[in-house]
Amino acid sequence: MSDRYILSVEDLTVSFDGFKAVNDLSFYVEPNECRVIIGPNGAGKTTVLDLICGRTKATGGSVKFKGKELLAMREDQIVHAGVGRKFQTPSVYEDLTVFENLELSYPKGHGVFGALMFQRDDPVKTRIQEIAETIFLDDQLDEKAAFLSHGQKQWLEIGMLLIQDPELLMLDEPVAGMSVAERKKTAELLNRIIQDRSVIVIEHDMGFVADIATRVTVLHQGQTLSEGSMERVQNDPKVIEVYLGH
Ligand code: ADP
Ligand code: MG
């Protein structure tokens, strides 16, 4: 069963002073899937990503990525294994250009020797150019990140993760604060990048969710309330009650 999934989350639990923010949660993500996690504020969505990427230590359960137990690994080991995570606020280097931000994130640039001996050789330039096209910033390569719009900064940060070629990319509310046009382009971007990887997205904008989701998991009080296609969860009485019932 585990072979079919790139990520298997089983009985995942975290307790903060007795409060179970994530409570016995299980879900499974397939290769090339875009899984969207929705749910009311405080449902535990961000905490789930924190647990998968190793930022928060789980109290119990299991998170297997390509068969490897992530709960036994440090944050940097999880990144190295191929899991990329974008946080809610963009964290690009404002004083550096788009090119330089992407160059810094290129895996070869990491580590003391890598950084010292790093040259702007052609394969790196080619890869940066490819990524810049994917994130709609190929005309802004020499622009300082400080001058980008909020939406463009979000794309740049996605690019900084993509250049590391993660097999699982996790994004927390990537279109918050974006214009309608930027949201459409972000949906196009996600639909393109799942050709080569799986994505987990936390999102509130239901129009955007409909544009990107392979499957939706509705989280409520740290547990799965409903799961399936967008249509299925939207028509699930349990979901309707949680969203409209109070
Ligand atoms: P969501 O992203 O769905 O809005 P969160 O995952 O941020 O929800 O939070 C879920 C619940 O867990 C909230 O009640 C929040 O206050 C609590 N929580 C999250 N992180 C911590 C923490 N480090 N310590 C204590 N409580 C936390
Ligand atoms: Mg959150």
AA identity, residue 13 = T
The number of the ligand 1 atom at minimal distance from the alpha carbon of 39 is 3
Alpha carbon 236 to its chain centroid, in Å, reads: 26
Predicted local distance difference test score (pLDDT) of residue 2: 56
Ligand 2 centre distance from Cα of residue 142 (Å):
33
Q: Which phi and psi angles does 222 have, rounded to 5°? A: 75, 10
List the residue whose alpha carbon is closest to atom 16 of ligand 1.
42
Ligand 2 mean position to 204 CA, how many Å? 10
Q: Which residues pair with 36 in a beta bridge?
A: 201, 216
Q: Whose CA is nearest to atom 21 of ligand 1?
A: 16
Residue listed under structure tokens 């069963």: 1
pLDDT at position 120: 58
Question: Can you give the residue range of the structural domain that contains 136?
Answer: 2-244
When pLDDT is averaged across residues 167-181 and rounded to a whole number, the result is 95
d(CA 131, ligand 1 centre) in Å: 33
- Tens of pLDDT, residue by residue over 49-100, are 999 999 999 999 999 999 999 999 999 999 999 999 998 777 899 999 999 9
Q: How confident is the model at residue 115 (pLDDT cuts 50, 70, 90)?
A: low
> What is the pLDDT at residue 78?
97
Length of the chain: 246
pLDDT number for residue 121: 66
Tens-digit pLDDT profile for residues 97-113: 999 999 999 986 454 55
Mean pLDDT of the chain: 92
What's the Cα-to-Cα distance from 159 to each of 50, 88, 98, 186, rounded to whole Å?
20, 15, 10, 12
**Domain total for the chain?**
1
User: Binning pLDDT at 50, 70 and 90, where does residue 122 land?
Assistant: confident
**pLDDT score for 3:** 74
What CATH number did the domain enclosing 158 receive?
3.40.50.300
